[in-house]
Structure 1
Amino acid sequence: MAVNDECKLMFLELKTKRIYRFIIFKIDERIQQVAVEKLGQPEETYDDFTASLPADECRYAVFDFDFVTDENCQKSKIFFISWAPDTSRVRSKMLYASSKDRFKRELDGIQVELQATDPSEMSIDIVKARAL
């Protein structure tokens, strides 16, 4: 599975310049390549992000999550989310599952990984708990 250079470039901009809140990636099965599908603006929320994921298709995503620690420190962590809803095609789920580790290695700076097959598995409470 090839990774479009734009994926790495946009991730680097999210990580270093924080000009995006999230990036959603899609595998183009015709050309066997991962490409950027959507860029979330800095003011967009986690709800905006989850609403951007298709209900019945697999995707990869990164989300820059801001939070405050118990010591009242402002922090952020970059989440890698593998979205594979139960309603997506079996072939698609297999393709995303088999390509995930290689794709994730291309994005240097992932701090937390989350796999979800249902919106409840990536609720804001779960994200907060994993960030701390």
Structure 2
Amino acid sequence: MAMAFKMATLGMIVSDECRNYFMEMKRKKVHRYIVFKIDERSKVVMVDKVGGPAEGYDDLTAALPDDDCRYAVFDFDFVTVDKCQKSKIFFIAWAPAASRIRAKMLHATSKDGLRRVLEGVHYEVQATDPTEMGFEVIKDRAK
């Protein structure tokens, strides 16, 4: 049964493709990252960009606009001190200083609804500039 997920707070709808792409990333490892955006007119959270398995964190950061808010998930692979291969999924709430106030408010109030749809996220990072979500931040959180 195809059904979009409705966010209770604002009547915002999370499109089915958001959950479907996330499940593919989580289970099949076919996406390294997914960027989500809100279409303010239709009040729908939708997939904006998808990074293939060979893409990296720099590709994700390059996919985020300097002047508009986005959500993103990133599948971070790393090796522990015990030489174990691990993977952790990060949720990133991107709200750059140059974005419109309305966009920032909409993204802040809609975030939890999207997070509920994306089951299996390990860590969350909120960033208003690139330094707050730098690769070192991700590495340190994943330990």
Which TM-score bucket, shorter chain as reference? over 0.9
After TM superposition, give the deviation of residue 79 of structure 1 in Å. Answer: 0.4
After TM superposition, give the deviation of residue 54 of structure 1 in Å. Answer: 0.4
Tell me whether 1:21 sits opposite 2:32 in the alignment. yes
How large is the Cα RMSD of the aligned pairs?
0.5
Tell me whether 1:109 sits opposite 2:120 in the alignment. yes
After TM superposition, give the deviation of residue 73 of structure 1 in Å. Answer: 1.0
TM (norm. structure 1) is 0.99
After TM superposition, give the deviation of residue 72 of structure 1 in Å. Answer: 1.4
TM (norm. structure 2) is 0.91
**How many aligned positions are there?**
132
Aligned mates of 2:127, 2:79 — CA distance in 1: 24
CA offsets, 1:79-120, max 9 Å, x none? 000000011000000000000011100111111100000000
Aligned mates of 1:125, 1:118 — CA distance in 2: 14
Partner of 2:3: none
Partner of 1:63: 74
Identity across matched positions, percent = 60
Partner of 1:118: 129
Aligned mates of 1:52, 1:6 — CA distance in 2: 19
Alignment of 1:1-132 (within 5 A): 1-132=12-143
Aligned mates of 1:74, 1:14 — CA distance in 2: 17
Gaps of 5+ in 2: 1-11
Aligned mates of 1:102, 1:4 — CA distance in 2: 12
Runs of 4 or more, structure 1, over 3 Å off, are: none
After TM superposition, give the deviation of residue 11 of structure 1 in Å. Answer: 0.3
Gaps of 5+ in 1: none
Aligned mates of 2:116, 2:29 — CA distance in 1: 20
Amino acid at match of 2:82: E
